[in-house]
Amino acid sequence: MREGHVAHDHPGPGLRDAPFERLCERLASSPVSPSRARWTVLAAFTLLVAATQLLWLGFAPVTSEVARSLGVSDGAVGNLAAVNPLVYVLLAIPAGRFADRRFGAALGLGAVLTAGGALVRLVDPGAYGWVLAGQVVMSAGQPLVLNATTKVAARWFPPAERTTAISVGSAGQFVGILVAALSGAPVVAAGGVGALLALGAAVSTVAAIATLLALRVPAAFPDEAPAARTLPRDRTLWLLAGLLFVGVGVFNAVATWLDVLLGGLGLPDAGGPLIALMTVAGIAGAAIVPGFAARHDRRRTVLLLTPLTVIVAFAVIAAGPGLVVTAVVLAIAGFFLLAGLPVALDWSETRAGEGDAATTTALLLLAGNLGGVVLVLLVEPLIALPVAGLLAIAAVTLPGVAFAAFLPARADVAAGDA
């Protein structure tokens, strides 16, 4: 591909007169130089990614308060968060294919749905029906946004910078999760659930506007024709999907059950701060590790080290070493665990190419969302037995070692040929 070639999305005959399609074509026609503005594009996109996670998990740290405000059970509030992975599973692949064919329209629609869903929740902050409706709308936008991570890197960044761009975009997910975990309680204490909904609406609206403006920057690299029919035959992509099934699943299991498990080991109320520590360490890992892995062609080494680190960490925690050691090993585990996402996405983009980048990302994130549901349920029966529960987290990580071991040693070699 040649740097400097400007690519635009071209609507098919049936969509040529669609108002939204015409809007996205106009947004893509700005004379702003992508060489100067690509980091602005990435910043706007990363903010939008973070907003999707803030809207998804914003109720988690204040479930009981939200339940009282809406007049429903804690379980009903939990169902609001469950909408997102369910909708993602249903829409991931269609959204990925849409983005590969009409990128500007897909990401623009994702931004509008994200902000629109947040605003719908504000129609009546005390009505569960309105909040649920907003959650559904926002959830429909999430796959259009998250699937664009590798596509943004491929369209606006030269090959030498794409790993960094994917790392930054992926880190937006972790930043959004962290902000959701830390902001819920103080915001609700200061202004009630309405203030929390207003915060989500403000962040998502700013992010959506910034993203729509960023789409004015023309792509620096030409679109490749999608060839998604070849993806099912790529063994490496399926191994990467298996790794994300395990990695995202383990992180969700830890985020869900760590507080309960540590309470049984004599560390009550330690789970929340330790999950925040793990996430901060993961953000650092996502910023550092993928670039190292790409420069030295050590992606498989990193992806093999990740599950091994998690297994050792939770075996150590199960021994009850105390708060300090637990914090240290969780930080180390988080550093590698969360870095695995951008490493896997970066590798997938090098294999699938720009033409299928969004569909490939959809496949990997779909596997991650499924793992996030399955592994949480697998650990749940053991949460009353903290040692067994912690060892169960280590055990469900074991398949990740096998997936990583079967990856090719070098990123340009097909699995099974190394």
- CATH number for the domain including 279? 1.20.1250.20
Asked if residue 121 lies in contact with residue 156, where contact means CB atoms within 8 angstroms, the answer is no
Q: What is the pLDDT of residue 84?
A: 87
Which of 182, 214, 246 is at the close of a domain? 214
Sequence-separated (6 or more) residues with CB below 8 Å from residue 109: 20, 141, 144
Could you tell me if residue 35 is inside a domain? Answer: yes
Give yes or no: residues 334 and 271 share one domain: yes
Give yes or no: residues 269 and 390 share one domain: yes
As for how many domains the chain has, the answer is 2
**Token pair of 300 as six digits:** 């498989």
State which residues form the domain around 135: 13-214
Amino acid at 195: A
Task: Report the candidate in 95, 83, 197, 201 with the shortest Cα–Cα distance to residue 148.
Answer: 95
Give yes or no: residues 321 and 208 share one domain: no
Could you tell me if residue 383 is inside a domain? Answer: yes
| Dihedral (CA of 224, 229, 235, 239) sign | positive
Give yes or no: residues 332 and 379 share one domain: yes
Give yes or no: residues 400 and 376 share one domain: yes
Ranges of residues in the chain with a pLDDT under 70 are 1-35, 224-232, 412-418
Sequence-separated (6 or more) residues with CB below 8 Å from residue 364: 237, 240, 241, 244, 344, 345, 348
Angle subtended at Cα 273 by Cα 268 and Cα 274, rounded to the nearest 5 degrees? 85
Q: What is the pLDDT of residue 21?
A: 55
Give yes or no: residues 110 and 234 share one domain: no
Give yes or no: residues 199 and 121 share one domain: yes
Q: What pLDDT digit, counting tens, does each position of 154-190 carry?
A: 999 998 999 999 999 999 999 999 999 889 889 999 9
Give yes or no: residues 44 and 155 share one domain: yes
Which of 165, 190, 214 is at the close of a domain? 214
Give yes or no: residues 170 and 262 share one domain: no
Which of 214, 238, 257 is at the close of a domain? 214
Q: What is the pLDDT of residue 268?
A: 87
Give the integer Cα–Cα distance in Å for 384 and 49. 35
Task: Report the candidate in 169, 165, 145 with the shortest Cα–Cα distance to residue 157.
Answer: 165
Q: What pLDDT digit, counting tens, does each position of 309-362 carry?
A: 999 999 999 999 999 999 999 999 999 999 999 999 999 988 877 778 898 999
Helices (H), 353-385: 357-379
Q: What is the pLDDT of residue 229?
A: 55
Could you tell me if residue 414 is inside a domain? Answer: no
Amino acid at 234: D
Backbone angles phi, psi at 342, to 5 degrees: -65, -30
Q: What is the pLDDT of residue 140?
A: 97
Could you tell me if residue 412 is inside a domain? Answer: no
Give yes or no: residues 207 and 257 share one domain: no
Asked if residue 156 lies in contact with residue 219, where contact means CB atoms within 8 angstroms, the answer is yes
Could you tell me if residue 317 is inside a domain? Answer: yes
Give yes or no: residues 99 and 243 share one domain: no
Give yes or no: residues 187 and 271 share one domain: no
Sequence-separated (6 or more) residues with CB below 8 Å from residue 200: 51, 54, 55, 58, 118, 121
